[in-house]
Amino acid sequence: MSRFADYFLGDHQLLVLGTVAVVWLGLAALGGLVGGRRRLRELDPLLGWALVSAVFTAGGTLTGVPFRYLALVLAAAAVAGAVAALRRDRALVPAAALRTAVLALPLLALTSAMAASQWDEFSHWLPTARYLLLADGFPDAAAPKTGASYPAYPYAWPFLSYLVGRVAGTFVENAGAVLNVLLLLTFGLVSVRLILMGLEDARPTHKAGWGLCALGALSVTLLNPTFAQKVALTAYADVATAVTLGAAGVLGWLMLQAEAEGDGDTAMGRAVQAGLILSVLVVLKQATFVLFVILAGALVLAGLRDPAVRLGRLARLMVGICLPPLLVYGLWRYYVVTELPGKEFVIRPLDGWLIHLIPRILLMMAIVLAKKGVYLGLMVLATAFGILGLVRFRGAFDRLAIIVGASFLGYNAFLLWTYVAAFGEFDALRVASLWRYNMHLGMLAVAFGAYGGAVLWRRRLAARVPARRLAWLPMVAILAAPVALAHKLRFDLAPPSPHYRAVAAEVAQAVAPGSRVFVFDPAGNGEAGLITRYHLGGRAAMVGYLSAFQETNAANLNRLLAARAPTHVLVHSQAPGAGPLLGLDLPRGRSYLLAAGPGGTWTVVRSWDRAGANQGAR
């Protein structure tokens, strides 16, 4: 029982939950300031994030003002926003948001107890967030190194971890995972709104009770066809991408609906809100600008097909949507070009494109997506209904289907192009990360499923099945699922990551400042090297690693050691001939920290068993 309780208990857990809550409420307060009275209150944290992203991006690229001063200005604005919200709305957040948070407490407790364990967390997202806190600003031409893979990647997502770190007074490693859960729950409130709209065939008039709030939370977790715990419960930016895209898509849909009904003021308000949220999307990852373009095209397509939407009004609405993201994205691109050229993922020259592999890549894309039946089924339905809506437009459902279906087709066409133009042949033929990229469309799929499912229920099932009698089911499910699935959700406890982390943390303390560490793990995939680099931080340098995907023979190890001149070698596994080369007999099944001695000799400084227990100096 005590071991099971450990799934939900972690170090500094109250600090994590408390500081993330403060930042999240601050974002909600800021969103209330910029969103106006016609906003969707459930999206206030996203609107507040848009203000944070704009202020940090503009301040960091144009002025170089330390971020801590910008954070103080935003904190003062958040206090003012909170006071205004309490006077205007009598609450900082909607009651449905509080109900959802209570229902999600088991999931939040489990997530806040987790530790980072995934490849991209160590290679990019965590070093980037930590760098912002230490440097108090962006990298530049004079100091372009951040410890991350791509220093020129946009920073909207690390901004939130930076703010959590400022509130906590220290870097909070798993803040990103908890923030991801809150982002999902926020879109769960959007699902609730869509369900109510579908059930009532009009603007929702009923308030969301506990059962409906639980159903909304389930729609973005257990019932979400793109939920993957190794992405959602990490510091990855994929959930943020999906939520901002989905929220902007729903706002664009509501914009077109308001315009079709002749409510121009509400339509423009929805357009501006969508534009603010898209200004976050475009500076989340390098390729998210494409998602903005695709969604904008889908909204234009839906608006052009709707006979109740006039072309001139549609053009003005699209200006409201496009202006904020274009301004923020333009600022960041200017900074990258002037300060950080060559520090991001690049496209190969045209003569290196894999055009001849397109048929094989398409076939593999179809195979991968076919294995994700619920997601693919929803998107195929949306595309089919969208095509029917283009032929015979009938209203809100067709409008949503056009937006979702066009986004699905457009984004996967873009992904095909990236496999041809940017990826190597090996990754292109296995369509690397295709499913993870399709998760970016996950909240659009949830929105289509929520609204379409509610419409179907109203038309086919409402008279037969009393919904009130079933309200307890989603409540039980959302409370019980994290408990029943705790062993699967706590993937961070699976070896070998905990061992690598424990060893790397001790190595970082054992070596002297300025040391040069080389990691030798010929049976590993390179994860040990990334984790070691992360734990060393700027205190010591990791000068390279050798893993199973490289030549692990003694000759190559000898060459690398001579070229990199490390002061220490961290050995996690063995390869034929490597032990004698180091002049040591290193029994298998242990990790060793070796220190360089005179005449090319090596000495074992410390060793660990696979459970990570330090065996002391020898």
Q: For 281-340, write each residue's pLDDT tens digit.
A: 999 998 999 999 999 999 999 999 999 999 999 999 999 999 999 999 999 999 999 998
Residue found by looking up tokens 């009651």 in the block: 95
C-alpha 112/C-alpha 107 separation (Å) is 9
**Which tokens go with 597?**
């001695």
C-alpha 32/C-alpha 46 separation (Å) is 10
pLDDT on residue 202: 55
Look at residues 578, 531, 540 and name the one whose alpha carbon lies nearest to residue 559: 578
What are 608's strand-pairing partners? 591, 614
For the chain, the structural domain boundaries read: 2-349+447-489, 497-609
Question: What is the DSSP secondary structure assignment for residue 206, as one 8-state letter?
Answer: S
- Residues contacting residue 522 through CB under 8 Å, at least 6 positions apart: 546, 547, 548, 552, 573, 574, 575, 578
pLDDT on residue 551: 84
Q: What is the pLDDT of residues 572-587, one digit of tens each?
A: 988 765 555 677 788 8
C-alpha 165/C-alpha 483 separation (Å) is 29
pLDDT on residue 277: 98
For the segment(s) 497-609, the CATH number from 3.30.410, 1.20.58, 2.20.25, 3.40.50 is 3.40.50
Question: What are the residue ranges of helices labelled H in 90-142?
Answer: 95-103, 105-112, 119-120, 126-135
DSSP 307-356: TTS-HHHHHHHHHHHHHHHHHHHHHHHHHHHHH-TT-S--PPPGGG--GG
Q: Which positions of the chain have pLDDT values less than 50?
A: 612-618
pLDDT on residue 201: 64
**Which tokens go with 503?**
């060893």
pLDDT on residue 329: 97
Q: Is 399 helix (H, G, I), strand (E, B) or coil?
A: helix
pLDDT on residue 617: 39
Please answer whether residues 131 and 146 qualify as being in contact, where contact means their C-beta atoms are separated by less than 8 angstroms.
yes
pLDDT on residue 618: 40
Please answer whether residues 81 and 32 qualify as being in contact, where contact means their C-beta atoms are separated by less than 8 angstroms.
yes
C-alpha 163/C-alpha 184 separation (Å) is 19
